[in-house]
A = this chain, B = another copy of it.
Amino acid sequence: MNKNVTIHDVANHADVSIATVSNVINGTGRVSEKTVQVVKKTIKELGYYPNISARTMKKKSSKLIGVIIPFLTEKGDLHDNPFYWNLVSGIEKISRQHDYHAVLTIITNHKTIDLSFVKERNIDGVIVIGAIYNTPLVYEIEALGIPSVFVDSYLMDEGAYQVFSDDEQGGYKGAKYLLDRGHKQIALMGGNKNVNGVMRARYEGAKKAYYDENFNINDLIYIDTSVSMKCGYESGRFIIDNPKITAIFCFSDILAIGLLKFFGENNIKVPQNYSLIGFDNIEASEYTAPALTTIAQNAVEKGKVATQLLIEQIERRKTESRKVILPISLIERYSHASLLK
């Protein structure tokens, strides 16, 4: 039972001063090799662990990273989107590698943002997921005056550190892929693109494909919904009510999975009756029937990159860039067909 072993105990046992112990621990100052060994041995014997709170007080750095996840408390509990978990596990991994720890905070209600823990705990930097441009959360984060990285946020602020996937390219690729196969009347399905930058970027990408290929932009329909299987399911009605539509490009695999259920129940075949493309490439997208053609992004990687960017900021090392755009790719599976002969 080594209760509360402090640097003093180590110093006493090793017969040196606490300053020397501190130097050994931090690799600072000049300490003879012999002393280093003695001190290290004593540390081990005594089962000494440095007290990070004390260190935090001196250094004004807690080695803590705040992860802020805003949940729109609407109907669709975002609980069920595996995307977050992947992101967080990427964040955790890199944090740990650099001796940081991740503190999770889920903000449920935008009206009562409470960022006080950042000051109270001397949080070194924060990673914010899916913030929305021109929103109190963004201002409050920036007002904190500490390093921050925004993921999937599409802030206009050029100075902000941001990480996102190449959503526009993804939207472009998906739409072009469909266009190339003879689909002209495409329904896009996603979250509110006026507010959600990710959705807007994907939408803009799809639109660009229409322009580039000289198709009529009016044939592009946007179904504005929430990102959940349920909403994907419920949007099915609209699609079959608009008989011109031949393909649907869901801006989330989650939506596509819901829609697939609706189609199944109504005896509509994919890809025979409709071509369907998803977005995200979540694991389940490979296991739908038919397996979903989708735009892949890597959430774990996204979390890792965001954390690296943050830590570089915190430690004032060179930061390669303020904005990292992760590549996406199209995974061809079996939910699409060509209309061409």
Contacts and interface: CB of A to CB of B under 8 A. Distances in A.
Interface in A172-225: none
A21 interface: no
A229 interface: yes
Interface residues of A, number: 54
Interface stretch (A27-35, A239-247, A281-289, A324-332): A281-289
B57 A53 contact: yes
Interface stretch (A151-159, A160-168, A256-264): A256-264
Nearest to A116: B49
Query: What's the number of copies of this chain in the assembled complex?
Result: 2
A340 interface: no
A315 interface: no
A258 B285 CA distance: 11
A17 interface: no
Question: At the interface, is chain A mostly helix, strand, loop or mixed?
Answer: helix
Contact of A106 (B64, B81, B89, B291): B89
Contact of A85 (B79, B120, B286, B291): B79
Nearest to A57: B53
A104 interface: yes
Contacts of A258: 287
